[in-house]
Amino acid sequence: MTDDFPDEISIKSIEKLARSIKRCKGNYSFLMGAGSSKAAGIKTSSELIEQWATEEYSKTDPDENKGEWIEEVESDIPEDQNRYGFWFEQRYTTREERRKFIKELVKDADPTFEHIVLSSLMKEQYVPITLTPNFDDLIYDSFYLYHEKRPFLVDHNAIAPQFRITHEDPMVVKLHGDYLYDNLKNTANETSELEQNIHNVLKTTLNEYGLIVLGYSGRDQSIMSVLDSDNTKIPDYGLFWCTMDKENLSEQAQSLLKKENTFLIEIESSQDFFYKLYEELDDLNVPTPVDVRSKAENRAKQLREGILQVGGNDVHLLASEYIRRDEHDNAIELLDEAIESGDEIVEFLKKRATIYRQKGNYDRSIGDLTSALKELGLPSDVNSIDLEGEDNAEIYNILQGRALSRSRAGYYNRAIDDIHKLIELNEDEHMNYANLAEAQILSGDIEDGLKNARTAIEKADSRSREAEGLLQLIIGKIFAGEDYHEEKEEFEEICKEGIRKGWEFDEIHNRLEEGDISEEQEKEINEIEEIYKDGKEINTIGEYIVRKKENELFI
């Protein structure tokens, strides 16, 4: 860099460049440097140098101030090595470390408006080729996200000798390799020379196309040795160097710009440059949000149709992914279409019923599960179901879900009917008795509720499951006005030891809201709920085993 900017350098405007591009459509190329990715959140080389130097300074913790320390360290940088390569190698010694750093640096970056304009220029053959030393994929991603066309991507050193720069598709050439491959080049030794074939691509580009340089200060020898070589002819269509700070250009870049048919363009930012270019090229078609939305909807439709055609696990997996993202309506829409297709109707009805129950739409959940029974050729009235020769496991699963939804909806007597059938199918499952106890207590049948709560405790296969029976027994006794302190002490002890939580208090709260119990009873129930919620939670089998060894729990 020099203190006085050379007067002999010719300065042009963005408007004049735009006119040249329009008049000579298809005869220009871009060289995009790191500055063009700054708006996407990727740090420039100068920002990375500052970061790495600061990190090394903090790690070393010398007595002198940071500025003096950095100046002293940089005094040892060889003349043929730049600051970027030096500090990158100081901070990350091996190629794999550098590759991982770069991968992390670019992973969340998305194309900005400038990349959309650039990809549009390339797609419509205004500027069919872009060269870049950048390690991000923002240009390619812009094509992928906003256009139907794909560029021809040269992303590693595997170009055949007969490779031609002229190509039917727009082309992106990554001059310093790609972080996904082994030919990543970022330190001084790695970037000092481009492989001969990439070197030839750059020279061929200059022979066939005008060059527009943007976001690049010209400080690495790999590219500048080609651009400023005595053997390199300045393109007939000109070389335009766009910069936000002409004083920050390297001496070699300034030397290049003294040559005939080279021009400097001062810009406010790369975003501003592409916005003005877009304004000047009035026939350039840039995708609108409507276009992008339409493409996305078409892709989503194609994906959905493909999954529906395959059916089975693919539908279940996609529905589960929607649920994981709390996109329940999308999951329901998918299952609606899957049910209409006529395949695996029972499984899809069960899945949709679960989603409706999670959304609090209990009537729809009950309806789906009743439909599932009909699909199996069974009556909706559970008391009319003959279990002889039936797939009892399937029936059991459907009735479990329907009983829960009926209970949540306040249809306690119907829920009780379903649970009695569940007990008929599996008389040893303690949970059926706990659920039955709750439904009976909430329906007002306290005596039978207390009886089944005790049965749930007797059949519990773990202390944690015993707590669920105790919970129903205590609530029943509160409703009945009976003493429950002995059960409460046992319940508190189990909750302190650790329980597998999962019991919902929604139905009990609904009963409380009806206001047919005293304030004292409501207070007692709330206290029991707090004991349950404050109890230690055991989530895994491993934790159960530990608890068993420590406290002789049975699981």
Closest to 81 in 3D by CA, of 2, 186, 183: 186
Q: What is the mean pLDDT of residues 251-278?
A: 91
pLDDT tens sequence across 364-389 = 999 999 999 999 998 888 888 877 66
Residue 431 near residue 466 (C-beta atoms within 8 A): no
Is pLDDT above 80 for 406? yes
Q: Any idea where the domains of the chain sit in the sequence?
A: 11-41+110-280, 428-555
Is pLDDT above 80 for 148? no
CATH code matching the domain that covers 11-41+110-280, chosen among 1.20.1250.10, 3.40.50.620, 3.40.50.1220, 1.10.10.10: 3.40.50.1220
**Which pLDDT value is given to residue 184?**
43
**Which pLDDT value is given to residue 163?**
53
Give rounded-to-5 percent helix, strand, coil for the chain: 60, 5, 35
Q: Worst-scoring range by mean pLDDT, 174-178, 329-333, 417-421?
A: 174-178
Rounded CA-CA distance 552/432 in Å is 25
Is pLDDT above 80 for 270? yes
End-to-end, the C-alpha distance of the chain in Å comes to 75
Does residue 221 or residue 543 have the better pLDDT?
Answer: 221
Contacts of 96-104 with CB under 8 Å at 24 or more apart are 98/184, 98/186, 98/187, 99/179, 99/184, 102/135, 102/179, 102/184, 102/186, 103/179, 103/180
HEC letters along 483-513:
CCHHHHHHHHHHHHHCECCCCCCHHHHHHHH
**Which pLDDT value is given to residue 197?**
64
**Which pLDDT value is given to residue 239?**
94
Is pLDDT above 90 for 264? yes
**Which pLDDT value is given to residue 189?**
52
**Which pLDDT value is given to residue 159?**
52
**Predicted TM-score of the model (pTM):** 0.56
Closest to 114 in 3D by CA, of 274, 266, 243: 274
Is pLDDT above 60 for 1? no
Residue 470 near residue 490 (C-beta atoms within 8 A): yes
Is pLDDT above 50 for 546? no
Other CB atoms within 10 A of residue 496 CB: 12
Chain centroid to CA 497: 38
Q: Worst-scoring range by mean pLDDT, 111-120, 299-308, 344-353, 529-538?
A: 299-308
Q: What is the average pLDDT value for the chain, to the nearest integer?
A: 82
Give the contacts of 136 (CB within 8 A, at least 6 positions apart). 37, 40, 42, 106, 109
Is pLDDT above 70 for 429? yes
Taking phi over 0 as left and psi of -120 to 50 as alpha, with beta for the rest, 337 belongs to alpha
pLDDT tens sequence across 455-510 = 999 998 888 888 888 988 998 999 889 999 999 999 999 889 888 777 777 777 76
User: Which DSSP helix (H) or strand (E) runs through 129?
Assistant: strand 129-132
